[in-house]
């Protein structure tokens, strides 16, 4: 956590702020398997109210595909950047720009599945250009998985990076970065001209925190376990929901 990080998260003004939300670890608790999570009616109602309160300036910024996001949050189809911005839906209920799986990352995924797919607790998630290898249920396997991924990187046609998080690792192409996804929304109505607010919980969210800070926005990391660029912290998923409900939806707000 940075020295400047604070437990006191400022209030937001409807019409003045644009809200960007990570999903896993921020709105939903992590699970060993990405499909083992669910969205309850209370969260759907909260997101619907937030979208209305902010005049549509609300977007998911997630490593999940937009198809997976829509399955989770059905029937809501909010603005969203999936696969760290490789996919996007720029308007609520609008069309989705999808990303396909390149041949070289498909071959690498097949190879690594053959090596680690039978290891208990290791789960592969092939998300188009992004390959996620989940080891939350098999933490002892992470070192070997990481070594194999690093060995395979030079064979890819572009310079992928490996992002290691609490749940495993992901192989991500260079153009997939959350800061760019947020910036894309901020160029469009109703996001344009508003102060950005980004809430996330993992390493992949740090680029978003840095960009939001540069723009004078509000950066919030959930339960940080390492140094973070975020300037505010929230303790857990429950604290995120409570803050969204009480500080965004209710009562008078200051400029924060």
Active centre residues (catalytic): 22
* φ and ψ of 180, to 5 deg: -65, -35
Contact 222, 236 (CB under 8 A): yes
| Phi, then psi, of 167 in degrees rounded to 5 | -100, 0
> What sign does the dihedral 30-207-62-154 (CA atoms) show?
negative
CA–CA distance from 192 to each of 8, 128, 198 (Å)?
A: 26, 29, 15
Cis before 196 (ω within 30): no
Which residue in 77, 16, 58, 89 sits closest to 244, CA to CA?
Answer: 58
Give the C-alpha distances (Å, rounded to integers) separating 120 from 15, 110, 139, 148, 215: 49, 17, 11, 17, 44
CA distance 242 to 178: 24
Q: Would you tell me how many other CB atoms lie within 10 Å of the CB of residue 177?
A: 19
Give the C-alpha separation, 151 to 134, whole Å. Answer: 18
Which of 114, 48, 37 shows the shortest CA–CA distance to 76? 48
Q: How far apart are CA 40 and CA 45, in angstroms?
A: 9
């Amino acid at each position: 956590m940075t020295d400047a990080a604070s437990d006191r998260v400022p209030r937001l003004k409807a019409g003045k702020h644009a809200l960007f939300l990570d999903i896993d670890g921020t709105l939903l608790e992590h699970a060993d398997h990405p499909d083992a999570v669910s969205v309850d009616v209370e969260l759907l109602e909260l997101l619907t109210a937030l979208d209305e309160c902010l005049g549509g300036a609300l977007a998911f910024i997630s490593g999940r595909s937009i198809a997976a996001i829509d399955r989770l949050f059905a029937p809501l189809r909010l603005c969203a950047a999936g696969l760290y911005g490789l996919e996007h839906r720029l308007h609520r209920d609008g069309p989705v720009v999808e990303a396909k799986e390149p041949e070289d990352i498909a071959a690498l995924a097949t190879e690594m599945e053959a090596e680690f797919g039978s290891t208990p607790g290791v789960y592969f998630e092939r998300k188009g250009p992004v390959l996620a290898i989940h080891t939350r249920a098999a933490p002892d396997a992470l070192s070997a998985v990481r070594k194999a991924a690093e060995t395979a990187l030079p064979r890819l046609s572009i310079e992928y990076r490996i992002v290691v998080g609490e749940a495993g690792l992901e192989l991500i192409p260079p153009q997939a970065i959350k800061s760019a996804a947020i910036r894309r929304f901020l160029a469009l109505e109703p996001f344009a001209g508003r102060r950005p607010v980004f809430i996330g919980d993992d390493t992949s969210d740090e680029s978003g925190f840095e960009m939001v800070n540069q723009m004078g926005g509000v950066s919030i990391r959930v339960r940080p376990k390492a140094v973070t660029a975020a300037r505010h912290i929230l303790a857990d998923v429950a604290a995120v929901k409570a803050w969204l409900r009480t500080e965004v939806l209710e009562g008078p707000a200051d400029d924060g």
